[in-house]
Structure 1
Amino acid sequence: MALSARNQLPGVVETIKLGDVMAHVVVRVGEHVVESVITRTSAEELDLKPGDSVRVVVKSTEVMIQK
Structure 2
Amino acid sequence: MIALDIATGGAMASVKAAVAGGQLTAAITKDAVHDLGRTVGAPVTALVKCTEVSSAVG
Query: The TM-score by the shorter chain falls in which range?
Result: 0.7 to 0.9
Match of 1:41?
A: 31
1:25 to 15, 18, 22: 15
Size of the aligned set, in residue pairs, is 57
Q: CA deviation at 1:66?
A: 4.3
Secondary structure, counterpart of 1:25 in structure 2: strand
TM-score normalised by L of structure 2? 0.83
Structure 1 runs of 4+ with >4 Å offset:
none
**Counterpart of 2:52?**
62
Identity %: 28
Structure 2: gaps of 5 or more residues: none
Q: Quote the RMSD (CA, aligned, Å).
A: 1.3
Whose strand fraction is larger, Structure 1's or Structure 2's?
1
Query: Whose RCO is larger (CA < 8 A, sep 6+)?
Result: 1
TM-score computed with the length of structure 1 as normaliser:
0.74
Which deviations, in whole Å up to 9, do the C-alpha atoms of 1:3-62 show, x marking residues without a partner?
A: xxxxxxxx1100001112100110111231001111101111111111111111101111
Unaligned ranges ≥5, structure 1 = 1-10
Q: Which residue of structure 2 aligns with residue 13 of structure 1?
A: 3
